[in-house]
Every structure is written in structure tokens, then in C-alpha cells.
Amino acid sequence: FFDYRPPVTMRVAVYSHSFPPSIDGVCRRMSSLVYELLVGGHQVLIFTLESELSGLDLRGQPTPTYVTLESAFPAAYPMKRIGKPSVTNCYRIWNAFRDFKPEVLHCTVDALTLLFGTIGLALGVPVAGSIHTDVDKIMRSFKAAEWAIKSGWALEAAESRLVDACATTSKSYKEELEHRWCTIDHVVLTAVNTQVFNPRCVEAEERRAIRSR
């Protein structure tokens, strides 16, 4: 009489180059993703560059199992921890996949995407990627050579095609990434508190100055 269907739960692996105690927009988005997955009853495995996830606010939900991957602070960008595409990380990811048996992985697109994509392909795990960081802008701020910037475009484009689906966070950034040869399948908009971040609260010149920093 009633068409009752029990909720479908999944085993989901999540990788982000930014989790607490780091503080930035990627950290907030990916922490919120983990929280919503846990609230939905899903089993979650986290891949992180942090030695421990102190400050991960899951509002009463239990902290998932996590695997710490090797990373470094590059000389050209010392304020940001970058994952290392190393043999050790390959081993850790492979073993975690074999033990946890995720049905899907969501990863931020960065230096480890090729590892996650290749291992996912080998073990039959679909990989969804999301691009958050404007690598082009970072490289130009360091006055990188044009060939290096275009090489970065090519790598990001290859990574966007390696994953089974690729997303970003705004329509304008999607257009910019597609101009840089990437394949973007989805736009996942992030809610913004317009009382705090309303652009009309700041003069146009000041907004331009903030964007150019």
C-alpha cells in the first residue's frame, strides 16, 4: 500500500588538500560535505594532508576514519601545504581503498588527482573531482613564465578529464576553466551570508583592490 523505500547509504571517500585546522573556503566546503554525508547516514573515509583533524566541527557527528598523506610546503608557495604524488601516498591510497571499499571518491583537483584517478580506475571506484583554487592566478602572482602557466593549464585539463565528473563553484569560474581547456560537468553553488558578504557594502574601487591582492 505504501511505497516505502529505505534510505540508500553509501561508503564515500573524501579527499581535500584543506581540512581543519587549516582555514579557507575549500576547508569550509569540504568539511560541510563530510558533515552532510554523515547526517545522511553514509560511511565516510577522509584523506587529508593534516596529521590530525583538530577543529573539524561535525556538530556532534563522530569523526570519520582518516588517512594522512605525505605533503610539503613548496618554496614558491610556502603558505600552502601541497600533497606529494609519492610512492608512499600511492601505497596509502591503494590500501585504504582496498580496506574501506568506497563506492565513490570526491577529491579536490590538485597534485594528487592523477594518483586518485588511476587507483580509482584500477579498483573500479568512480572519482568525482572539484576545482576550487585558481592556479593560473597564483602562478601569475609569482610572475611564472608563460610556458609554465600553460603547462599548468594542460595538467589541470588532463585531470578534469581523468575523473568521472568534474565540478566547480561558480558559472563564471566554469567559463574561465573551460577557456583553459578543462572539462567541467557541474557547478555546485555555495551559500553566502549576504548580510556579511554583500558586494553593495563595499565601494567598487575597494572591491577591485581586494581582488587584486
- Residues 6 or more apart whose CB falls under 8 angstroms from that of 134 comprise 173, 176
- Asked if 144 contacts 164 with a C-beta cutoff of 8 angstroms, the reply is no
Q: What is the C-alpha to C-alpha distance for residues 35 and 46, in angstroms, rounded to an integer?
A: 12
What three-state secondary structure class fits 43?
Answer: strand
pTM equals: 0.85
Instruction: Please identify which residue in the block is written with the cell numbers 571518491.
Output: 105
Hey, is 6 helix, strand or coil? coil
Q: What is the pLDDT along the chain (213 residues), one digit of tens a residue?
A: 456 666 689 999 999 999 988 888 899 899 999 999 999 999 999 999 999 998 888 989 999 999 999 999 887 777 788 999 999 999 999 999 999 999 999 999 999 999 999 999 999 999 999 999 898 998 898 899 999 999 999 999 999 999 999 999 999 999 999 999 999 999 988 655 556 556 565 555 655 554 444
Cell of 159: 585531470
Sheet strand arrangement including 165-168 = 65-68, 43-48, 11-15, 104-108, 127-131, 165-168, 186-187
From the CB of residue 50, how many other CB atoms can be counted at a distance below 10 Å?
22
Assign residue 150 a region: left if phi > 0, alpha if psi is -120 to 50, beta otherwise?
alpha
Distance CA 203, CA 190 (A): 23
Which residues, listed in sequence order, are joined to residue 14 by a DSSP beta bridge?
46, 106
In the prediction, which pLDDT does 69 show? 98
pLDDT in the model for residue 25: 86
